[in-house]
Amino acid sequence: MARPSQLLYPQREPAPLRSAATVLLLRDTPQGIEVLMTRRSMTASFAPGAYVFPGGGIDAADAAAHDQSSRRTTQSDLHLTQAIAAIRESFEELGVLLARHADGSYATTADIAALDRKAPFAAQCRARGLTLAGSEVFVLAHWVTDRDLPRRFDVPFLIARMPEGQSPVADEAEQFEPVWVRPAEALARHQAGGFFMIFPTIRTLERLQHYPDVEAVLKACSSEEPLWTSCPRAGLLNGKEARYMESDAPYGELALTCPDGQIVHPLDWQTGRPVALLKNVRRLTAPNPGMMTGPGTNSYIVGDADSGYIVIDPGPNDAGHIQRLHEATLGRIQAIVCTHSHPDHSPAARPLQALCTGAPPILGLPSASTARADSQFTPDRALSNGELLVLFHQGLTHTLKVIFTPGHAANHVCLVLLEDGLLFSGDHILNGSTTIINPPDGEMTAYLDSLDLLSTACDEHQIEFILPAHGYVLGAAKQAIAQLKAHRLKREAKVLAAMQARPDGTPQDWVALAYDDTDPRLWPIALRSLQAHVERILASRHAT
């Protein structure tokens, strides 16, 4: 965890959470799934005027009504309470009643008309011989309201099939204008500005639109676990608030820079000045965007004005970028570290060194004999695996630990900022894409073994964030590493299947099969990693 003293903004306590439940009532139509939505009151304290799914707070009476509801054998007490709350709220807000008579028939319009929406709910249902259909309500997702908002909820998004023979009627107090709408239509109307929705609603509909019918949604939710869980975070993009889920590229960066949910961090990629990530860590992105470099190569500046600085990956030999690195450090660079010798990482090292008083040492590993001609690199001093690079002034220390991580390149190293639990991953781990493993300097088994080393380092040094050479900061570091390794092994399985399907085929034949989920324009690049997988597969065969 980053030291509180190094956080950019004062810490604060987010608003407390309130338990609530929301239900998506679904029906099938010839055009696809439709979901029931309603507009919130313009005077509502939360999301006024937004189109939402019915729902509201969970109260004690919901937990006490378990004996009034049907229940799946796998349904937990918590999920049943949430289901009952959602059933009650859909009745109170829209007059929709998920309940059945003893003969299994749904509650009728006559039953609904006989019930008072403002009176105790479960007792009224009991009096009419109705059993709540809790067993027919499933968990779709789990949302926790963003940390920046003054009113926050911990809310499952549940799903249920709309009862036959019923029609929604809004209470005209909290909810207005009930409407059946296809998810894609709701999203299009929101985009056009005529159907305002909040972030969780939008993201839920984005996923829901891909299901062909209600049964497919119910089947997907049969495990009793939410399909996703999210507490979004917000940053600034083009000067406006932009929200993101955990699976979105900027999420980890927002978690590092604004852990308590402050909406202050700019997410726009720019090369003119460094972006502060912590007080002692800044990122300056080189002006070399492209297919292989994403928004550009990230140079990191570690340290402070008192301790001096270590520059990690000075980048390509771009005069403007080099000058900006020199200005950002006031020339007080103690060392320049290159994670590896590729042409977008190490060429700026010598020109930057020449600008600095005292010629700070260039550190890294020399390029191997397998390196390409444009990746030749000789440091002033070779780093040792496990070596510590220390900046210190008046009790404040910044320590970088070197970890040898061959795979992407034979001379690749990563660094861990020990005091703040940060991993500078070079090209070994990227945000938004997988790195290329290009033989002979790149080697797949070494790459996977290095991922294992980094996973172990996450435990040893409590690493929470990964700062890659391309893309935003990644959060949930160990999970990200595990997902990356799983992705690589899954791809290798596809490569093996392609080789078995076309035993006399060429790599060009195999890439079309193994990378069928990738834009064909990327296949020439993918061929490099495919070759690394092929070499690993063949080596495994020879070993057995």
Q: Which two tokens stand for residue 445?
A: 């088994």
Q: Which two tokens stand for residue 341?
A: 């010798």
How close are the terminal C-alpha atoms of the chain, in Å? 43
pLDDT of residue 430: 97
pLDDT of residue 214: 97
Query: Could you read off the pLDDT of 466-517 as tens digits, one per residue?
Result: 999 999 999 999 999 999 999 999 999 999 999 999 999 999 999 999 999 9
Distance CA 131, CA 119 (A): 17
pLDDT of residue 538: 93
Q: Are 24 and 182 in contact (CB under 8 A)?
A: no
Q: Which two tokens stand for residue 258?
A: 């604004």
Query: Could you read off the pLDDT of 405-439 as tens digits, one per residue?
Result: 999 999 999 999 999 999 999 999 999 889 999 99
Helix ranges, 152-250 (H): 183-191, 199-208, 214-220
In this structure, which amino acid lies at residue 265? H
Q: Are 24 and 159 in contact (CB under 8 A)?
A: yes
- Give a three-class secondary structure readout of 93-111: HHCCCCEECCCCCECCHHH
Q: Residue 503: which residues within 8 A CB-CB, separation 6 or more?
A: none
- Name which of 396, 383, 322 is nearest 356 in CA terms: 322
Helix axes 523-543, 477-501, angle to 10 degrees: 80
**Three-state DSSP state, 428:** coil
pLDDT of residue 234: 96
Nearest 5°: the CA angle 247, 250, 251 is 55
pLDDT over threshold 80, residue 47: no
- Name which of 14, 457, 472 is nearest 266 in CA terms: 472
Q: Which pTM value belongs to this model?
A: 0.92
Residue 544: which pLDDT band, with cuts at 50, 70 and 90? low
Rounded to an integer, the average pLDDT of 234-263 is 96
CA distances from 463 to 201, 384, 418 (A): 33, 21, 8
> Mean pLDDT of all residues in the chain?
95
pLDDT over threshold 80, residue 45: no
Is the sign of the CA dihedral 209, 210, 215, 220 positive or negative? negative
Helix axes 507-514, 477-501, angle to 10 degrees: 130
Among 118-122, 315-319, 336-340, 460-464, the range scoring the smallest mean pLDDT is 118-122
Query: Could you read off the pLDDT of 305-334 as tens digits, one per residue?
Result: 999 999 999 999 999 999 999 999 999 999
pLDDT over threshold 90, residue 171: no
Distance CA 100, CA 472 (A): 51
- Name which of 93, 90, 109 is nearest 159 in CA terms: 90
Residue 1: which pLDDT band, with cuts at 50, 70 and 90? confident
Q: Are 63 and 21 in contact (CB under 8 A)?
A: no
Rounded to an integer, the average pLDDT of 326-354 is 96
